[in-house]
Amino acid sequence: EVLLVESGGGLVQPGGSLRLACAASGFTFNTYWMSWVRLAPGKGLEWVANIKYDESEKYYVDSVRGRFTISRDNAKNSLYLQMNSLRAADTAVYYCARDGPWTGFDSWGQGTLVTVSS
Amino acid sequence: VMTQSPLSLPVTLGQPASISCRSSQSLVHSDGNTYLNWFQQRPGQSPRRLIYKVSNRDSGVPDRFSGSGSGTYFTLKISRVEAEDVGVYYCMSGTQYIFGQGTKLGIK
């Protein structure tokens, strides 16, 4: 069974940083693209970033490029999202998801809440 | 841009429901596949993929859910709505990684 467990969310002030982690199990992690997707309060789903299985390709939505960095550690079956210069608009539940690619996300974690507020 | 309609869909139990999704550009990839996917998010739960590449149902998805369409216009249909279908439905372009605004399905 595929299992994705996020951690690292919390309350942070505007301009601050946070690092999210996602622990994966139940599949061969180093053969899959992985993504972060978020759901802001009162909004719809938004893809944030993804990373190829060998880290050779990384892509970001325009609103986070230059502030967020996606990475992975295949030895630890883990995915990360380093979030810097956080803004109120980044407040959301962040989901780790296994990525097709192109066919969408076939497995999702339970999500971790990030709140950016003073 | 992915545009869904309606944004709110009240349905009587046992009745059919249909959600449309229009893309501002063709979703046909150079490999010949059309990467249009559908997701469901029930209240308090994580999203779940229902349909990928227009019409392929995920494992465990009831056959009352079906997807169709081509090019820039796509449809998700539920043949007979059940109480467990309540939630928000999103289409997603697999080529651009853009979601539609979401359609909130509720029971009348």
Q: Are B89 and B6 in contact (CB under 8 A)?
A: no
Question: Which of these, B102, B99, B95, lies nearest to B42 by C-alpha position?
Answer: B102
* Residue B92 near chain A (CB below 8 Å): yes
Written as six digits, the tokens of B13 are 């139990």
Total CB pairs under 8 A between chain A and B: 58
Question: Which of these, B42, B54, B26, lies nearest to B84 by C-alpha position?
Answer: B42
pLDDT in tens, A23-74: 999 999 999 999 999 999 999 999 999 999 999 999 999 999 999 999 999 9
pLDDT (tens digit, 0 to 9) for every residue of chain B, 108 residues total? Answer: 999 999 999 999 999 999 999 999 999 999 999 999 999 999 999 999 999 999 999 999 999 999 999 999 999 999 999 999 999 999 999 999 999 999 999 999
* Residue B94 near chain A (CB below 8 Å): yes
Alpha-carbon torsion, ordered A3, A17, A94, A26, to 10 deg: -10
Interface with chain A: mutation pick from B42, B46, B74, B93, highest number of A CBs within 10 Å: B46
Quote the pLDDT of residue B17. 98
Q: Which amino acid is at A44?
A: G
Interface contact A47-B99, CB threshold 8 A: yes
Q: Which residue of B has its CA nearest to A95?
A: B46
Quote the pLDDT of residue A60. 98
Q: Which residue of A has its CA nearest to B7?
A: A44
* A73/A33 Cα distance (integer angstroms): 12
